[in-house]
A and B are shown apart, each in its own frame.
Chain A
Amino acid sequence: MKKSLFWGALTAAGLAAGMSSAATLDDVKARGTLNCGVTTGLVGFAAPNANGRWEGFDVAVCRAVAAAVLGDENAIEFVPTTGKTRFTALASGEIDMLARNTTWTFSRDVDLGFEFAGINYYDGQGFMVPKELGVTSAKELNGATVCIQTGTTTELNLADWFRKNNMEYEPVPIETNAEAQQQYLARACDVYTTDSSGLAATRATFEDPTAHVILPEIISKEPLGPLVRHGDNQWGDVVRWTLNALIAAEEFGITSANVEELASEPTDSPEINRMLGTEGDLGEMLGLDKDWAVRAIAAGGNYGEIFARHIGESTPVGLARGLNAQWTEGGLLYAPPFR
């Protein structure tokens, strides 16, 4: 009797813990800060700047969510994670969301029990080689020594691609981007492979970026996006629609400069009105207030502004919009309607 009471109490406690962890939105509000998992440092995507403030394309998503939920884009605890620790950090509840150029795959979504809130960068795995090697196509890489950052989807893509093309290679697994740079620059490997955005970001930090070329072959689809734990749909919605708001804002021409003005009174466009809270109550449905999207956009600007500031062609990373242009301009970005 006593024993069953003990186990009963334990189960109840376990269930209570389960339920309390399900309401991430309430936890974040009560805590007053958002715990956001980012990389340990990848220029342009997430890295501390000279003043120690985290900056970057992925960081901007965290800041937009923090602004939407808490009204303060700086109320964030950044948790640097490696390729290995990221999923455990999210699953255990150490972080509320993970914005760490993570590829959306079936097994991560279904088997690991995560929920991808959308795609903020359409990427693909590429190869970087020194120009003096004279290689112009990845098909010429038979027998090459390839540096790979371990703990990512790139290992599988690489194995598949070389197998498909009947070529051999010598993999050199490496723990962090910094070590990969050291080996690559010392020519201990001929090729460095990772997501092509990561290659561009890495190349930007080289002494002479022009001495290295990124080969034209993109050997995989790597849709990168923020993710949350499975099972807390409300929190998933908050992150998903904050990202959608940033994307839609660019489509509608809402920028950090004019968002306050557009939100002060209803405009001619009903969809802008609904998004910015001057019409309807979309914010309340999310469990937030009606100005959520205004704050999210004011924090770092719309998707286009964030892209241009951190990884666009005027930055050292120098990425073109390519697939990441709006659908109206031939890209893949397509935010569902705010209705």
Chain B
Amino acid sequence: MASYSDPPKESFRPSMLIYDTRYRGITIQIVALIGFLTLLGWIINNTAQNLADLGMRPSFGFLMEPAGYDINQTLIEYQNQDSHLRAAFIGLLNTLLVAVMGCATATILGVLVGILRLSKNWLVARLMTVYVETFRNVPVLLWIVFTMAILIEVFPPPSAFRGDDPEASMAVFDSVAVTNRGIYVPEPLFTRGFGDLSVFGLFEISTNLIVILAVLFAGIWGARKVRQRADRIQNATGVRPTTWHFSLGLIVIPVLAVLIALGLHLGYPALRGFNFQGGIYMRNSLIALWLALSIYTSAFVAEIVRAGILSVSHGQTEAASALGLRPNRVMNLVVLPQALRVIVPPLISQYLNLTKNSSLAIAVGYMDITGTLMGITLNQTGRALETLLLGMLIYLTISLSISAVMNWYNSRVKLVER
């Protein structure tokens, strides 16, 4: 009678932690982890000890104190008696504003330059090469300061618009004022409206804006449905119905109707006192920072786009042409979808770079998070360590969020292998 039994169970001995290959890896990792945590603890303890010796006790209580200083560009309500925390938030919004504007412009410019650099036209291709090499090989700080200097020196001060025979006059039918303090453009105003909506008591948001955006998105959604229907008909019959007038009408007419219902009119800037009043005021500092950052980054984006397009083998283009696709269809349907998987990952780095480079804003006096929290607040409270730690944490959060969004996009455009 044959009996089978499990091999005798080896009892666990501590020495196995070192001599048994099954456990050794884990042992080493745990030892390394303990070593790392000890080092970290030592660094933190040492810092705290030294700070205590210097009489600096870390504390974040200052964030609730009144800030006391004014900020010129505030996207939401802010007074100088608000807290340092709110001032930091204003700065954060300004950082995000310039980052979003910069990323969008850098992408558009970069894609354009990248494609044009591959142009068969010798002059255009060479000009784009000059563009790329000039802008990416000079430090971005110099571009920012240079742009600001040009804006300040070239354009006239508001006082030049004054008098019976002014030296300067407003552009575009007397509606846009270009001064060396910034550009004033007409602003949309509403005679009727639903008033403002308070968000958690933190800031106010115009209900009119929400309504307009809602109608706009509904229109876009409708246009998409129309396109899907056209696709279905095309698949079934092979004939694509003309839809562009439906789409255009769906998007434009409701928005126009809402705008007229709300009583849209334009508020023009006018010179009153020292400055122009009314209109939307884009400060020099924002324009200089935005232009410099987006032009500088666009040079890198252009190279990434060019590399992406070149990475798609020429045979693909030829095959698509052989199937009878027109050049723009070849680009849209064959080349770009394959190029995007090469373009998107390095593009994420460029977006991150642009956002982090926006911390150079203080060079032109743009009040971003570096200028408020890590600038004036740091100075007024003297809490260097705390503000810098907070600032680093905020930049880290912004960067990780951009990464997350872009990685999600990347996973959508990457080749699905079967």
Contact = CB atoms under 8 A, between A and B. Distances in A.
Interface in A266-322: none
Interface string A70-100: 0000000000000110011001110000000
A284 to B, nearest CB: 29
Contact of A231 (B45, B55, B371, B378): B55
B48 to A, nearest CB: 9
Nearest to A156: B68
Contacts of B42: 10
Interface string B243-282: 0000000000000000000000000000011110100000
Contacts of B394: none
A160 B68 contact: yes
Interface string B150-166: 00110001010000000
A144 B158 CA distance: 11
Nearest to A14: B49
B379 A83 contact: yes
B25 interface: no
Interface stretch (B5-13, B313-321, B359-367): B359-367
Contacts of B181: 145, 170, 188-189
A173 B363 contact: no
Contact of B375 (A150, A159, A172): A150
A336 interface: no
Q: Range of interface residues on chain A? A: 35 or more
Contacts, number: 120
Contacts of B367: 173
Contacts of A182: 149, 152
Contacts of A169: 70
Given A84-B375, A155-B376, A188 B382 contact: no
Contact of A187 (B149, B157, B378): B157
Interface stretch (A105-113, A216-224, A242-250): A105-113
Interface in B269-321: 272-275, 277, 284-285
A30 interface: no
A321 to B, nearest CB: 30
Contact of B274 (A21, A144, A230): A144
A185 to B, nearest CB: 9
B134 interface: no
B275 A170 contact: yes
A18 B53 contact: yes
A174 interface: yes
A183 B152 contact: yes
A319 to B, nearest CB: 26
Interface in B36-73: 42, 45-46, 49-50, 53-56, 68-72
Contact of B53 (A17, A133, A173): A17
Nearest to B384: A88
B44 to A, nearest CB: 12
B286 to A, nearest CB: 12
Contacts of A160: 68
A325 B382 CA distance: 32
Contact of A173 (B54, B153, B376, B384): B376
A175 B362 contact: yes
B46 A10 contact: yes
Contact of A150 (B68, B273, B285, B376): B376
A186 interface: yes
A194 B181 CA distance: 20
Nearest to B372: A173
B180 interface: yes
A113 B54 contact: yes
A76 B371 CA distance: 33
B381 interface: yes
B80 A163 contact: yes
Given A84-B375, A152-B379, A173-B367, A143 B275 contact: yes
Contacts of B53: 14-15, 17-18, 21
A197 B317 CA distance: 71
B69 A156 contact: yes
B380 interface: yes
Given A14-B49, A186-B153, 13 more contacts: A10-B46, A84-B378, A84-B379, A91-B56, A113-B56, A150-B375, A151-B376, A159-B80, A160-B68, A173-B376, A188-B152, A188-B181, A230-B55
| Nearest 3 pairs of A and B residues by beta carbon | A187-B157, A113-B55, A18-B53
Interface of A: 7, 10-11, 14-15, 17-18, 21, 83-84, 87-88, 91-93, 107-108, 111-113, 133, 141-145, 150-152, 155-156, 158-160, 162-163, 169-175, 182-183, 186-190, 229-231
